[in-house]
Amino acid sequence: GGEGAPIEVELKFRVGPDTATALWALGAVGLPHTPPFRDCYFDVPGAALGRADIWLRHRQGQGWQLKLPHGDPRLPHGDPEPAHGDPQPHRNAETTRTPPKPAEPRSHPPPTSPPSRPPSAVTIYREVWGDAGVLQELTRLLGVPSAPWGSVRAALAPLGLRPTASFVTRRRSVRVGRVKVELDEADFGYGLGEAEEEVTAEGGAREVEEARKRVEGVCRALGAEPRQRIPGKLSVFLARHQPRYYKLLREAGRLEEVEKEEKEE
């Protein structure tokens, strides 16, 4: 299952002409070359996964992955195919710690208080890897009693999961102390940097907090403002190629606003 899944503490930043120099000045150590990889993202019609901040993807060379908010995510209304008209976003995982009951439709909508935002743009996600773990989480979230499928691939059609995005990333990775820095270039002409640290669930809130500080420190040293939210590759891809899906997720507060210049090739 996803209980021992690593927690990824991550901050995105803009890569500029001075980023490489700043990295070497920090004593960055090169990590082994990663071959370019294709990510294919999936969601159900109505974007129930994305609206709940849950991201299913197949990453070339690594297999199936599910990124979930650190905490206990639920789908909006526990409904795998919510109505298009009035999306009621799932509230931030950090405020939602009651056990999920995805199979039973809830009579009341989720609380409407604003999600508790971390003081910076650092994001904290749980990552579940591999067919068995991803299938288990997916069926739980979608309220399907059991998983008769042997692979995520075989479960896509029966669960109503459809591709939303597909793109290739070229990635260079270095390490600055405990922080991993990735410089990404996507094949649709968008690049960004990510500073991240992986912690285990056993480490608890304290480890997450310390990782957050280190990740912010590296970004500051690279000249980036840790409060600024930089659009991810998926946000920019969707803004360009899936405007309706992008709008649904924007309205649910799940994707960053993509500026004009990032929309243009």
From candidates 13, 42, 64, 125, binder to ligand V4E by CB under 6 A: 125
Strands of 89-147 (E only): list them: 123-129
Rounded Cα distance, 2 and 78, in Å: 19
Residues with Cβ within 8 Å of 139's Cβ and at least 6 positions away in sequence, in order, are 145, 146, 147, 155, 159
Q: Does 233 bind ligand V4E (CB under 6 A)?
A: yes
Binding flag, residue 92, ligand V4E (CB under 6 A): no
Q: Show contacts with ligand V4E in window 1-20 (CB under 6 A).
A: 10, 12
> Are the C-beta atoms of 181 and 28 separated by less than 8 Å?
yes
**Residues 140, 229, 247, 250: which binds ligand V4E (CB under 6 A)?**
229
Count of residues of this chain found to bind ligand V4E when the rule CB under 6 A is applied: 15
Q: Interface with ligand V4E by CB under 6 A: which range of 17-25, 84-92, 120-128, 135-143?
A: 120-128
213 alpha-carbon distance from chain centroid: 20
Cβ at position 105, least distance to ligand V4E in Å: 26
Would strands 190-199 and 179-186 be described as parallel, antiparallel, or unpaired? Answer: antiparallel
Confirm or reject binding of residue 256 to ligand V4E (CB under 6 A). yes
Count of residues for the chain?
A: 265
Binding region for ligand V4E (CB under 6 A): 10, 12, 55, 67, 121, 123, 125, 194, 229, 232-234, 254-256
